[in-house]
Amino acid sequence: MKKRCLITGVAGFIGSHLAEALTAEGHEVLGLDSFADYYAREVKESNLSGLQGEAAFDLVEGDLARLDLGGLLRGVDWVFHQAAQAGVRASWGDFFRTYTDNNILGTQRLLEAVRQVGSAGNGKVARIVYASSSSIYGEAEEARTPEDATPRPISPYGVSKLAAEQLGYLYWKQFGLPVVSLRYFTVYGPRQRPDMAFNRFIDALLSGGEVQIYGDGEQTRDFTYVGDAVAANLAAAERGRDGTVYNIGGGERASVNRVVEILEEVSGRRAKRSYHDRQAGDVRHTWADVSRAERELGFAPRVDLRDGIKRQYEWQRRGKLDGDQQRTS
């Protein structure tokens, strides 16, 4: 059955892929984005290029913390709350105010608006899928981290994501809002944000610059391909259990050094590595226990790390070639 969907942060990395997947399945999408200046607006506009002229897609520009959300929510069946101020390393100091406004206040205002729209008799939202983060765990103790591990974030960003996740739980517990949270583990793939590691590494390989690695490179991550993260959102909208949190991981943990090796293999280029001090808030290891998502959502990652890295490399390589051609024409 066709659904009307609201995606916050629609011009971002995951949000734009999710919008394309939903419209491809015949759903209507209302996309909301503030086009915050954390990275270039042109990048976000490019993310939405595949949706231009799509009759089932509408875009609204606005800030969740300030916008009147009631009108946007009327008639909406599913809400995918992807909007957030991203970045672990930037979340320290005075800039933390941006995280509290965008991640905590924005989430609270969205949840309150969903509650008010429902209580006003204008039709209730059937599902809210919140994009949480593995950063809420901090330095996890278990090899594979289950959802019931005690959260101890070690960055202000992780604190803000955990606070927003807990707001979702509270609004489910107190008011019955159908909130489901997905804890993403290091998502990568085409359109990845410019500040994220894979994007930076590939740009350096293509330009002949240095691949800058923070720490010794032996820290490991459970890397998740963006298409698998999108599939998890669709499954959560259809089958998620209200008030429940699900880990979403790629099923394949690797060190940063191993990622660079794979990039060298798929690109045929030699990386000029440089190592720098570990950054505050960076955890040593992550690895998702996704058994709950497998059992309840039918989730299973389908894209392995090497294939996913190759897809992202080819996407960035094509983008660089297109840019070079435009500059010389």
Catalytic center residues = 157
DSSP secondary structure letters along 32-71:
EE---TTS-HHHHHHHTGGGTT-TTEEEEE--TTTS--HH
CA distance 268 to 300: 30
DSSP letter at 1 equals -
Q: 3-class SS at 179?
A: strand
Give me the amino acid identity at 309. I
CA distance 76 to 8: 13
| Count of CB atoms situated within 10 Å of the CB of 20 | 18
DSSP secondary structure letters along 87-153:
-SGGGSGGGHHHHIIIIIIHHHHHHHHHHHHHHTTS---SEEEEEEEGGGTBS-SSSSBPTTSPPB-
DSSP letter at 84 equals -
Q: Are 288 and 228 a contacting pair, CB within 8 Å?
A: no
Give me the amino acid identity at 206. L
Order the strands of the 28-33 sheet from edge to edge.
57-61, 28-33, 4-8, 78-81, 127-133, 179-184, 244-248
Q: Are 135 and 153 a contacting pair, CB within 8 Å?
A: yes
CA distance 27 to 80: 13
Phi then psi for residue 33, to 5 deg, are -155, 145
Closest by CA to 256, choosing from 283, 216, 305, is 216
